[in-house]
A and B are shown apart, each in its own frame.
Chain A
């Protein structure tokens, strides 16, 4: 009696396990079947007509996925983020004209979020609604490029990911302030300067930005880059204005001067290096061969000769600190830039004995 009960319990347990194991498959299939699909479906070509800058009038593309991590990681150009879960709270983001074409999308055919939001918009009285059911995966497959949020860019910057960030604005704007780690290739000079782009086209992440949501330049450059054969092309639509707002133009770092004229306090430099290296612009003036044997995190290599030829290449949005191995060459760079670009106020050099290792570690001893 007891034994039989045990067996039946075991059976029940096994059934439970079986159900548990198959649960994800069942639930997905059920979901795909169960959610109510919005009848008006848009395809890629229709969306592409509206997903460009300047924004065509009378339409709005809405991303129904969560803002983080989905929207910031990649979205259809010009799309506004109204996550399905926040829809009721964010109706003020919708256009006031109820006849505006609203195109909702999310993560593809299995995703119900865009359909849900479309029905809600319908209930609000909008008359021209479509759902791009194939969603973002389909967009990525067909479109020349997509957009990314600055949060993603900032994370890639912090993680030291491999990407190339290009400022498509005129060079003068770049000099006044730019997103860290970017290089300047004005859209107007795209053809002329295409030699600056990496030769590897399949895996290189190429991210363009310019003067914000209304700026065309990054979109134009992105399309050209795709035409050249680059496969991973993105646009950070918020551009430099967005960056300035979110992460600040400069670093806000107030540099303490060291004892010697023009030098930075060595202790402060070491502290900033380990805690907030992005707050300053470290320029290593040693030869490229020395630099490639080891250098400070985030440092940029520019020899004194290169600086002399192109002093304008130094951006002014953060304090500049020149480093080398003893202070001799960096001191030279300091006095040179003081003379060539007297308008740069926050320029310093490191008066210290430094050694750099290939693994990124370093040793800095102040000179007596």
Chain B
């Protein structure tokens, strides 16, 4: 009985680890992310999304931002996006951040 509990706990821990890993962003498709960003973010932030460019934040800031999105003004829109899309968007923002080798220009 005790043994079963250990196995169960172990499985639970493993599952948790896997789930939390799924939320660790990075390595997505930045090209697709640029399009998804345009499609999903501009609809909420406004057509030009002037407050929103990869180069407005550093890579660390983007990473922090993606860890907890519940307080963001556009949080509602985020709910509907699949994790894969979010990861692509993150990759785009992260790879073109202010302190990245290739910060995004105005376009």
Contacts and interface: CB of A to CB of B under 8 A. Distances in A.
Question: A and B bound?
Answer: yes
Interface of A: 260-262, 287, 304, 308, 326-329, 331-336, 339, 349, 351
- If over half of A's interface residues share one DSSP class (helix, strand or loop), that class is named, otherwise mixed; here it is helix
Contacts of A334: 31, 35
Interface of B: 29-32, 34-36, 38-39, 96, 102, 104, 107
Q: Tell me which of A260, A308, A336, A349 has the highest count of chain B C-beta atoms within 10 A of its own C-beta.
A: A336
B31 A328 contact: yes
Nearest to A334: B31
A50 B31 CA distance: 59
Nearest 10 CB-CB pairings of A with B: A331-B31, A335-B35, A332-B34, A332-B35, A335-B32, A336-B35, A328-B34, A331-B34, A332-B38, A329-B107
Given A332-B35, A332-B38, 10 more contacts: A262-B31, A327-B31, A328-B30, A328-B104, A329-B107, A331-B32, A331-B34, A332-B31, A335-B32, A351-B31
Contacts of A351: 31
A59 B58 CA distance: 78
24 contacts: A260-B31, A261-B29, A261-B31, A262-B31, A304-B38, A304-B107, A326-B102, A327-B31, A328-B31, A328-B104, A329-B107, A331-B30, A331-B31, A331-B32, A331-B34, A332-B31, A332-B34, A333-B35, A334-B31, A334-B35, A335-B32, A335-B35, A339-B35, A349-B31
Contacts, number: 42
Nearest to A351: B31
Contacts of A332: 31, 34-35, 38
A349 B30 CA distance: 14
A327 B102 CA distance: 12
A157 to B, nearest CB: 31
A138 B104 CA distance: 61
A128 B96 CA distance: 78
A287 B106 CA distance: 11
Nearest to A329: B107
Contacts of A326: 102
A331 B102 contact: no
B96 A335 contact: no
Contacts of B36: 335
Contacts of A304: 38, 107
A164 B30 CA distance: 39
